[in-house]
Amino acid sequence: MTVVAPELLLNATDVAKHYGAVVALRSASLAVRPGEVHALMGANGAGKSTLVKILTGGVRPDRGTILVRDRPFVARSPAEARRGGVVSVYQEPALIPDLDVRSNLRLTQSPIEATRHWLAELGLPELSLADLVRDLPLASLRIIDLARALAIEPDVLLLDEMTAALPANLTERVLEVVGRQRGTERSVIFISHRMIEIAAVCDRATVLREGETVGVVDVTAGSENRIVALMLGDIASDLPARVAAVAASANRPADVRPRLSARNLSVGTKLSDVSFDLFPGEVLGVVALEGQGQDELFDVLSGSERPSSGEVQVDGAAASFRHPADAIRAGLVYVPADRAEALLMQRSVRENIALPFSTRFGAWGPIDLRSEGQKVDAAIKTLQIDTRAASEVRRLSGGNQQKVTIARWVAGGIRTMLCFDPTRGIDIGTKQQIYALLRDLAAAGTAVLLYTSELKEIQLACDRAIVIFRGRIVAEIPVADADEPTLLRAAYDLKPDAVMPEELAAETMSAEAAGAEAAVADAAVGAVASQAGSGGTQ
C-alpha cells in the first residue's frame, strides 16, 4: 500500500503512434486521478482504440511517457500491463471457451472467493464455476471478465464498452459497481458510446480528436454538449461539400415502389425491429457508432446471416436469402469495408471484375472472353482504375482495390448496392471519386445503401440518413439537416438541444433498477430520454 496517495494514478503524456505514414496517435495525454471514474471519448478514428491498445499492452508507442503510481509503465503484453497495474476488460471476453470458469480463474491466478463476491455483486450469484465458458451467454462472460478484473484489485481498471451486449438489469449492476470505485484508491477508465452512462458514473472525461487530446471535461449537467463539441472540433472540412444536392426524395413521385424494404428486422439482441425503404435512384446513409447493429443489418441484407425475425422485401416481394448468392441473384450486391473480403488478391484486376458475371452467365461452358473484355474495359474506364499494377490486385492501392470491388458489380449491371464503409482507409482523392461514382449510380437508377463511419460523407453522398443506436433506428434525417453535429448527437441518441439534468439521469438509473425485466427497463430509458428531450427545450 502506498503511504502517500499520488496526485495522479495514471499519467500518460504526449503519447504518439505511427503506422508507416499513417498517424494513429499524434499526441495523446490522459491523466487519471485516484478514485475517479474517467471517461475516454472520441469519434471514429480519433485514436481512442490505439491509446487503449497501448495501455493494455497490445501496441508499443513510438513516443511519450506513461506513469502508473509514478512508476514508468511499459507493457509488451497484457500480462505485463497487468503487472504494471492496468487490467482491462475487452469487448471480446478474454476467457478460454474450452475451459470451465474455475479453470479460467486458475489460469489467470485470480482469487476465486473475491471473484465469486464480485459475481454476486454484479448480479450473477447463481453462476456455477464448473460451467464451460463455451456454453455461457456473452453477457455472462462479460460479467465474469469484469468480476475477475475487480478481484485482482488493479490500480487502473480499463473498461472498453463494458455495457455493450449487456441486458439493462446487468448494465445497471455494472454501473453501480463501477460507481462504487469512486473515492477509493483505485480508478476506472470507462469507454462507452452511451452518454447516459458517462453522465451517470464518470467524474471527468478526456476527449480525443485526430490523435490528440483536445480537452478534459468535468462531467456535470450539460457536459454532453461540450464533449460532442470537442469531439467535432471546428468542422473545417477538408472535403468540398457536395454542391447542388438535390435530394432525390424531394421530387420522388408518390407511386415509386421501393427497391428494397426492411420490415421489422431483428437479429438476436443486436438488431431490433428495423424497418426502412430504399428507393431506386437514392443513396440512403446509415449512421451508427461502432457495434450498434449495422454489421448485422448488412449481413442480413447481403445474405450472410438470416434474421431472427422480420422480412426483407425486394421490389415489393418478400425475399429470403440462404446464401450471399441468393442476395446477388435478387440484385443486392455488397461492397465491404475490408477489400480482402471481396477480392481475390493474387489474381488480376480483369479476373476480379469478371468473376461475378462470368460465373453467372458462363455457367460451366467456356468464358466468352470478347464480351467479358468489353465489359471489364468499360468498368475500368468508368471507375478510372489505375491499371498499372493490374496483374495482381494486392499490389493496387487500397482506393483502387475498392474501385475494383465496385467495378465488378458495375460491369455486370447493378440494381441495388450495399456499401459498408467503402472508403475506410482510402485517400481523399479516391474517396471523392467514389462519392461521385455513388451519385452517378444513383442518377442511373441504382439504389444505394451506404453505411459510413465518417459522418461528413453523409452530406457528400447521401439523400437522407437513418441513425441506428443499440440496434434500433432512432432517427431519420434529410440530407439538408445532416451536418456532423446533428448526426453525432443522433448517433449518441441525444435529442436535439437536450440537456440531461442530473436528476433525470439519476431517475433513469432508478427506473432501470425498478424494471425487473430487461425489456421493461429498456422502455423506461427510452421514456426518460424523450422526457429529457422535451424538458430541455422549455
Partner 1 sequence: MTASSAALGSRRTVVTTALAFVRRNGWTVALVGLLVAFLAITKLLQPNYGPAGIQGLAISILPIGFAAVAQAIVVIAGGIDLSVGSIMALASVTSAVLMLNNDDLFGVGVVIFVLLLGLAVGAINGALVVVTKVPDIVVTLAMSFVWAGAALLILNTPGGGAAPWLMAIISGPLGSPWLPKALIVLAVIVAVVWIPLRRSTFGLAMYAIGSSPLAALRSGVPMARSKIVAYALTGFFSALGGLALTATGGVGAPVPGSYTLQSVAAIVLGGVSLAGGRGGVVGPIIAVIILALVRTDLFFAGVDPNWSTAVQGAILIGVVTFGSLVAMRKVRA
Binding residues for partner 1, rule: CB under 8 A, are 77-79, 82, 88, 90, 92-99, 103-104, 106-109, 130, 132
- Residue 187 and residue 34: Cα distance in Å, rounded? 5
State in angstroms the smallest separation of the CB of 173 from partner 1: 23
State in angstroms the smallest separation of the CB of 437 from partner 1: 37
- Residue 408 and residue 130: Cα distance in Å, rounded? 51
Q: Which cell numbers hold the place of 205?
A: 472525461
Sign of the alpha-carbon dihedral angle for 15, 21, 24, 27:
positive
Nearer to partner 1, 103 or 382 (CB): 103
Edge-to-edge order in the sheet of strand 212-218: 71-72, 63-68, 10-19, 22-32, 212-218, 204-209, 37-42, 187-191, 156-160, 86-89
State in angstroms the smallest separation of the CB of 19 from partner 1: 20
Residues in contact with 59: Cβ distance below 8 Å, sequence separation at least 6, in sequence order: 17, 50, 53
Nearer to partner 1, 91 or 382 (CB): 91
Nearer to partner 1, 87 or 314 (CB): 87
Nearest to 522 by CA among 513, 512, 531: 512
Nearer to partner 1, 96 or 355 (CB): 96
- Residue 23 and residue 210: Cα distance in Å, rounded? 9
State in angstroms the smallest separation of the CB of 165 from partner 1: 16
Nearer to partner 1, 50 or 223 (CB): 50
Q: What is the DSSP string of 331-393?
A: TEEEE-SSGGGTS-TTS-HHHHHHHHHHHHHTTTS---HHHHHHHHHHHHHHHT---TTTT-G
State in angstroms the smallest separation of the CB of 496 from partner 1: 40
State in angstroms the smallest separation of the CB of 109 from partner 1: 8
- Residue 384 and residue 230: Cα distance in Å, rounded? 38
Question: Is there a contact between 46 and 37 (Cβ–Cβ < 8 Å)?
Answer: no
Helix (H) or strand (E) holding 170: helix 168-180
State in angstroms the smallest separation of the CB of 161 from partner 1: 15
- Residue 328 and residue 330: Cα distance in Å, rounded? 5
Nearer to partner 1, 107 or 514 (CB): 107
- Residue 123 and residue 173: Cα distance in Å, rounded? 6
Nearer to partner 1, 112 or 513 (CB): 112
State in angstroms the smallest separation of the CB of 107 from partner 1: 5
State in angstroms the smallest separation of the CB of 159 from partner 1: 14
Tally Cβ neighbours within 10 Å of residue 110.
16
Nearest to 38 by CA among 55, 63, 61, 18: 55
Nearer to partner 1, 152 or 436 (CB): 152
User: Which backbone phi and psi does 273 adopt, to 5 degrees?
Assistant: 55, 50
The CA–CA distances, whole Å, from 355 to 72, 359, 360, 366 equal 54, 6, 8, 13
State in angstroms the smallest separation of the CB of 82 from partner 1: 6
Nearer to partner 1, 23 or 94 (CB): 94
Nearer to partner 1, 146 or 385 (CB): 146
State in angstroms the smallest separation of the CB of 453 from partner 1: 23
State in angstroms the smallest separation of the CB of 91 from partner 1: 11
The CA–CA distances, whole Å, from 395 to 19, 343, 399, 467 equal 19, 12, 11, 36
Nearer to partner 1, 103 or 304 (CB): 103
Cβ-count burial of 485 within 10 angstroms (0-12 exposed, 13-18 middle, 19+ buried)?
Answer: middle
Nearer to partner 1, 106 or 360 (CB): 106
